[in-house]
Amino acid sequence: AVERTLSIIKPDATERNITGKINQRFEDAGLRIVAQRRLQLTTEQAQAFYAVHKERPFYNDLVAFMTSGPVVAQVLEGENAIEKNREVMGATDPSKADQGTIRADFAKNIEANSVHGSDSPETAREEIKFFFSNIDIVG
C-alpha cells in the first residue's frame, strides 16, 4: 500500500551540506518528498519528539545533538514507505548498517546518524502531525 513516513535529516548532515545527497537516496528508492521544511528545533520540541526515549541513558545527549543545528523534516511517500525508508537508512548504528545505506555512507556515529525515520504506521502518523498540517503535504 502507498504509505507516508516522517523523515528527519539531522544536524550532522545539514552541517556537512549533504541534504541533497540524502534526498537523492530517497528518490532513487522510489520515495517522493511530498513535504519538506528546514527548521531549528528548540529543546522543548526535541524533548517532546523523542519523549518515548525519555528514560534512556542517551536521551539528554540526543536532545542536545538534535538542537545543535538545523534539521530538515520531511514526509516521504511511496509503496511500503515506512519499511523502504528504514532499508534506505540502514541500521541505527552506522557500524552495523548495510553497505550502500545512508547511515553506512554518511553517519558519524550511533547518535550523529544523519537521518531519522518513523518505525511503524502509528508512529509515522504521530510524527508527521508533529511537524506538518495536512495542507503542507502535497502528494
- One-letter amino acid identity for 53? H
Residue 103 within binding range of ligand CMP, rule CB under 6 A: no
Count residues near ligand CMP (CB under 6 A): 8
Closest to ligand CMP by CB, 132 or 139: 132
Select from 13-21, 77-85, 98-106, 109-117 the region that touches ligand CMP (CB under 6 A): 109-117
The arrangement of strands across the sheet holding 2-9 comes to: 32-39, 71-79, 2-9, 115-117
Nearer to ligand CMP, 6 or 35 (CB): 6
Backbone angles phi, psi at 74, to 5 degrees: -150, 155
DSSP character at residue 98: P
* Selected binder of ligand CMP within 30, 33, 105, 111 (CB under 6 A): 111
* Cell 503542507 belongs to residue: 136
Instruction: Using CB under 6 A, pick the residue from 29, 62, 91, 137 that binds ligand CMP.
Output: 62
Q: Which value, to the nearest 10 degrees, does the dihedral of the CA atoms of residues 104, 107, 29, 41 take?
A: 160
Which spans of this chain sit near ligand CMP (rule: CB under 6 A)?
53, 58, 62, 92, 110-111, 113, 116
